[in-house]
Amino acid sequence: VYSGNFLSQVEVSTFDMTRVMLGINPQNFSYCLSEGESFQSPEVVMAYSEDGLNGLSQVYHRFFKNRLMHSKYKNQERPILLNNWEATFFDFNEEKILHIAKKAKEVGAELFVLDDGWFGKRNDDYRGLGDWDANLEKLPQGIAGLSKKVEALGLKFGLWFEVEMVNMDSDLYRTHPDWMIATPGRFPSHARHQHVLDYSRKEVVDYIYGKMAKILRESSISYIKWDMNRPLTDVFSKSLAPDQQGEVFHRYVLGLYHLYDRLTTAFPSILFESCASGGGRFDPGLLYYAPQTWTSDDTDAVERLKIQYGTSLVYPLSMGAHVSIVPNHQTNRITPLTTRGNVAYFGVFGYELDLAELTQAEKEIVKEQIGFYKKERSLIHQGNFYRLRSPFDSNQVVWSVVSQNRSRVILAQYKLLNEVNRAYDRVYLQGLKADALYEVDGKQYSGAELMLAGFSLSDTSCGQPLDQEKLSCDFDSHIWVFEEVK
């Protein structure tokens, strides 16, 4: 339960005794203690299940949701959002943002999120990080004015921050160059043209808290997307003695927790989303403060199958999952809008595109997707998640969510590449009532049948008559909802 460098180590002795050790990674770590001082090491959560990896995952999911997450949102329905990033990147003004927000309201979204580019001279990723004051050329009435206009449309308003970072081309760096983590006498390593602020220093954390709190007090903000687009390198603090440099990373994590604690205490009604995208940070320590996490900027639906499948091994389906533009801006892959939605359902659902650029038929699909998610999101987030077929060793991915009382099931199937004359296919469901009857698409099956004889996934690529259903294709997907017959 820690957001810093850690080590998981397993050793087997010559006597076949296995020893498991988990904790802070010893590389470049040391901590000087004076007489009377103490050091608290991170906690570790270890779980056991006799029901395989799915059972083990469900233990972690329940524990994190019910015992670890501190936010009031831990078991609440999460709002469906639209984020403007892939619609505008840095090129926007208030008029464009409000137009996108209006379109989001029309299709049934509940939250609009303003992403990077609203502050300082942030018109590209070379400058501006650290200058957390609204760019009045883009937003004449600042965040306070924009947030109130978005709320007047009937939407909640969310805001993007990346407050652990700084650009050298910023007023903050020019004023406090010593606040940047860097090794003296060496060229500082940047990533995405940005560097990391020294959160081991109390004055840095106090400054960032003051800037964020001012915006949050003045504005109508319901959600914060807390980005982290690079890891820590050149870890050295100018405020600590040479023999204390091994403490910097750990002190940084404590400073980060302190900032989160102050913000979540002062603004308990705000939903915080943390980020693992660039810094690789996704851990139970941050789940305490931020009950959902942005796992990756890779929003391609096919790529997300592996990302979400792997994440679910330990973490509940509280990862941000967005339907984005095509061709995808990272992979250039074109996937069906239906499949993009079917993948994103199994997370905190949202959109990251300009709805105005969709056809009317696509907008109708978006409305249907939002309607489906609103109806099923409680089941998706409160049910038991089962991984049934892995994207790492199959051309298909299959998973399901079963309600706690086992009366409703959502089954999802995703095909990567289409095949010719493939074998007839069945999937064996898990977690059902063996003696119950379940209905789907007008047909009834017993729970025992679905678990032991399986459910057919065969489609037209299996030699089915072509007039029975739509033709299968690359990146195809299907969702079934099973309801217990009372």
Q: Which residues are catalytic?
A: 227, 297
Structure tokens at 432: 């059902």
Residue 184, sorted as left (phi over 0), alpha (psi -120 to 50) or beta, turns out to be beta
| Dist CA 336 CA 414 (whole Å) | 12
Burial class (CB in 10 A: 0-12, 13-18, 19+), 78: buried
CA end-to-end span of the chain: 43
